[in-house]
Amino acid sequence: MAIAAAIILPIGLIFLLSGLIINFIQVVLFILVRPFSKNIFRRINKEVAELLWLEIIWLFDWWANVKVELYTDQETYGILGKEPALIISNHRSDIDWLVGWVLAQRVGCLGYTIALAKKSLSYLPVLGWSMWFSSLISLERSWNKDENILKSGFRELNGFHQPFWLAVFVEGTRFTHTKLLAAQEYAVSVGKPIPRNVLIPRTKGFVASVSHLRSIIPAIYDITLAIPKDKPRPTLLRMLRGCSSVVHVRLERRLIQELPEDESGIAQWCRDVFVVKDALLDRHLATGTFGDQECQDIGRPKKSLMVVICWSCFLFLSAIKFFEWCPFSWGGVVFCAVFLVLVLVLMQILIVFSKSENSTAPKVPPPSTLKENLLPA
């Protein structure tokens, strides 16, 4: 425990202090710039938010040295980051969202990544707040409320003039063995294909995304995530401890104009994609690779490393100046001790929040009432 605290505390200090500075800048921009020009706000906010998000990518790339092997064709890889795209993926591990950030950072659109996510994420200190300012679409997991939330969020995206990625985890929750058993029981009860490696997609959020954004998003990036069976599953805690791993990502670009026009057809398309995805994961389990696609070299840019070094130097020098200006007192000692405890508490919240077993599945009505109307992601 002492060793873990010794590692987490300095990383947490840098992340919390820099994050609060970033959040403050975002508040100022939101008040002073956004009312006059949403596009200027987005452009500036992209650069500001990346100064925080790159710290987490540094943790992934440089501290833990987690490798991402991207399997896709050369033409698709050349297009990434140059067009708006809707991302659908299986939700396999605790850090799937971070794998998406790593890919987005490699192609230059990290600050323009948006997600449909549960509302509690926007309340997460520092990280969640920064994502809210970056157009996170927060869902209540109740379609009566979420339908209007989605429409409002999509209207905002209609004026988004930069290439952005909108991520929709259509399984609605992270994969666990318990949730897989529940999905298999449901599939048997309604006569659907029985999943082995994925959960049954909840399609309303995806259908709404395609229906409302078809005119501005040309492509869907169909992503399949897998962890090699001889590698440990990456988690935020393991990354903080510097433990390496490997993530395999298969990306297929699908033109959105090729999807059906009607809602039931779009929903069935999504379910069919996940049947194929399930088979791909079966094959990956057997072979350890997505060998049907070329493995692209996505590199490991030094930008995140430089950002962390700059933040560390800035905060260290600021701390020296602060203690020179503030004379020693027991009150100051108590304040510092309380602040360090708060840093550890925040890091613990982030670790717990990211764990798959702590994610909750959307409430699903009995099969007799559910039928084709699966709940939104």
User: How distant, in Å, are the alpha carbons of 372, 373, 374 from that of 202?
Assistant: 9, 8, 5
Helices and strands: H and E segment counts in the chain: 13, 8
Torsion angles phi and psi, residue 286, rounded to 5: -80, -35
What distance in Å separates the CA atoms of residue 192 and residue 61, rounded to the nearest whole number?
40
Domains (ranges, CATH) in the chain?
A: 66-303 (3.40.1130)
What distance in Å separates the CA atoms of residue 299 and residue 65, rounded to the nearest whole number?
12
Residue 331, pLDDT score: 66
Residue 332, pLDDT score: 66
**Tens digit of pLDDT for each residue in 316-340?**
998 888 777 877 676 666 777 777 7
Quote the pTM value: 0.87
Neighbours of 27 (CB within 10 A): 12
Residue 119, pLDDT score: 86
Q: What is the pLDDT along the chain (377 residues), one digit of tens a residue?
A: 444 556 778 888 899 999 999 999 999 999 999 999 999 999 999 999 999 999 999 999 999 999 999 999 999 999 999 999 999 999 887 788 999 999 999 999 999 999 988 888 888 889 999 999 999 998 887 778 888 889 888 888 887 888 999 999 898 888 888 899 999 999 999 888 999 999 999 889 999 999 999 999 999 999 999 999 888 888 888 898 899 999 999 999 999 999 999 999 999 999 999 999 999 999 999 998 997 788 999 999 999 999 999 999 999 998 888 777 877 676 666 777 777 788 777 877 777 766 654 445 444 444 443 343 333 33
- Edge to edge, what strands does the sheet with 246-255 contain? 137-139, 113-118, 165-168, 85-89, 219-226, 246-255, 67-71, 295-296
Listed residue (200, 213, 210, 201) closest to 263, CA to CA? 210
Q: DSSP string covering 46-92, please?
A: HHHHHHHHHHHHHIIIIIS--EEEEE--HHHHHHTTSS-EEEEE---
User: How distant, in Å, are the alpha carbons of 28, 345, 354 from that of 96?
Assistant: 31, 23, 10
Torsion angles phi and psi, residue 199, rounded to 5: -100, 160
Residue 117, pLDDT score: 86
**Tens digit of pLDDT for each residue in 253-285?**
999 999 999 999 999 999 999 999 999 999 999
Would you state the structure tokens that stand for residue 312, as one six-digit string? 């560390």
Cβ neighbours for 320, distance < 8 A, ≥ 6 positions apart = none
Q: DSSP string covering 228-297, please?
A: -TTSPPP-HHHHHTT---EEEEEEEEEEGGGS-SSHHHHHHHHHHHHHHHHHHHHHHHHHSS-TTSPEE-
∠ Cα 233 237 240 (to 5°)? 110
Pseudo-torsion of CA 190, 254, 155, 360, nearest 10°?
A: 40
What distance in Å separates the CA atoms of residue 122 and residue 247, rounded to the nearest whole number?
26
Cβ neighbours for 18, distance < 8 A, ≥ 6 positions apart = 51, 52, 55, 311, 315
User: How distant, in Å, are the alpha carbons of 159, 180, 283, 293, 373 from that of 290?
Assistant: 37, 23, 8, 6, 32
